[in-house]
Amino acid sequence: MSGTSAPTSVRMPVMAPDECFRAFLVAASTGKIFSEEEAETIFGLIMDGAATESQIAAFLMAMRVRGEQPSELLGAVRALRVRMTVVDHVPSDTIDVCGTGGDGHGTLNVSTAVSFVMAALGVPVAKHGNRALSSRAGASDVLEALGVSLDTDPAVLGADLHTRRLAFLSAPNHHPAMRHAAGARKALGVRTLLNFVGPLANPAQVKRQLIGVSAKQWMKPIVDTLEKLGSERIWCVCGEIPGDHPDGIGAYIDEVTLAGPTRVEALENGKRLSFSLTPDMAGFQTAPVSAIAGGGPVENAVALEALLHGSKGPYRDTVLLNAACALHVAGQGVLLKDQQPDPAALVRLVSLAAHVLDNGAALAVLNASRARHAAGKAALEGRAS
């Protein structure tokens, strides 16, 4: 008697992670645009070590050449956020101030200096930074040159935000998965999508950010991404630099600038706003980007300390202009009137920031950070002896 056999399931072949990435790399070379879900998978493979350095470099450049897409940014940020080491129990009004880098200008460290000013004003800052990848001196490099400790314990960092109002979150300590892409990024030495991804994955999960970009087409997608991920107030800024620009030097800079107008794409109380700031609104004269040209970590550290000691000039004015914007983002002042910048309000907030530079309060924040580093070093040496 014949019978009918029960249907059997067909086992589909499962690609190994490295084979899967190679397939995505081939697709990228043909110009394919990836969905948010695909991008999360791709960047998850990169962050999990499934791709070689040369493959990662090839993929990042293929995306850059054909133009990275908002869906790919959102997917990459999601991939990084689920893999990061989080700092919990931070003050609800904590902010971050950072630039995405890759503008080719090699300026002094503006957002790091702003962090000391903001902490001196009582605003908690979870300053997210990295070592130089597409620049000469990243935030972590300069802090190290200043003798500032980069703590790794999330509990200590969270406590710092409550007590000292400042915590430096070194990207390698909180995004270990990104180490797989570090070699490729440094070898390329140009802006890639990953320049945007890190600043959108602050380990303290801040809801307020002043974030600078050097590619104006990315301003809206960056704010869109942060809004979808739950941010409350965002200013994405892009400084415009007038004139001719030699190869490798962009017409934009990733901060509020003295060189020309700064475009702002903002998320304010659930509303989206677009406007421009100019240095004269704050009473500052324009100055070329070359006026704040930086060098290596030691040179930039010397300039930052001189600033905190009261040194005047374009570096100070640039920091004050950015700090005034950060105060608005933090809810410590209102810079807008009828959804446009109010010059009188901008001048008031610049004055507040200038006060803590002139009275030594911002320098005291640096010195307290140094003292803590020295105490920790001495304790380690004592245990070792």
Which residue would you say has higher pLDDT here, 210 or 189? Answer: 210
Query: What is the pLDDT at residue 380?
Result: 47
Which residue would you say has higher pLDDT here, 6 or 309? Answer: 309
Give the range among 90-104, 203-217, 328-342 with minimum mean pLDDT: 90-104
Most confident segment among 3-7, 99-103, 127-131, 295-299: 295-299
Give the range among 7-11, 121-125, 159-163, 206-210 with minimum mean pLDDT: 7-11
Query: What is the pLDDT at residue 104?
Result: 76
Per the DSSP assignment, residues forming a β-bridge with 337 are 340
Binding residues for Mg(2+): 111, 254-255
pLDDT more than 70, % of the chain: 90
pLDDT over threshold 50, residue 319: yes
Q: pLDDT, tens digit, for every residue of 131-177?
A: 755 456 778 889 999 999 888 899 999 999 999 999 999 988 999 99
Binding residues for 5-phospho-alpha-D-ribose 1-diphosphate: 99, 102-103, 107, 109-112, 127-135, 139
Q: Are 326 and 350 in contact (CB under 8 A)?
A: no
Query: What is the pLDDT at residue 90?
Result: 96
pLDDT over threshold 50, residue 11: no
* Residue 324 CB partners (closer than 8 Å, separation 6+): 282, 333, 335, 346, 349, 350, 352, 353
Q: pLDDT, tens digit, for every residue of 232-285?
A: 999 999 999 987 555 445 689 999 999 999 999 999 989 999 999 999 999 999
Query: What is the pLDDT at residue 34?
Result: 98
Give the range among 73-87, 99-113, 280-294, 296-310 with minimum mean pLDDT: 99-113
Q: Buried b vs exposed e over 125-145: b needs ≥16 C-beta within 10 Å?
A: bbbbbbbbbbbebbbbbbbbb
Binding residues: 99, 102-103, 107, 109-112, 127-135, 139, 185, 254-255
The CA-CA-CA angle for residues 261, 114, 169, to 5°, reads 120
Q: Buried b vs exposed e over 89-118: b needs ≥16 C-beta within 10 Å?
A: ebeebbbbbbbbbbbbbbbbbbbbbbbbbb
Give the range among 101-105, 140-144, 237-241, 299-303 with minimum mean pLDDT: 101-105
Consecutive H or E run containing 161:
helix 154-163
- Kindly state the average pLDDT of the residues 276-301: 95
Binding residues for anthranilate: 99, 130, 185
pLDDT over threshold 50, residue 23: yes
DSSP 198-229: GGG--TT--SEEEEE-S-GGGHHHHHHHHHHT
Query: What is the pLDDT at residue 384?
Result: 55
In whole angstroms, what is the distance from residue 307 CA to residue 301 CA? 10
Q: pLDDT, tens digit, for every residue of 35-52?
A: 999 999 999 999 999 999
Query: What is the pLDDT at residue 5?
Result: 42
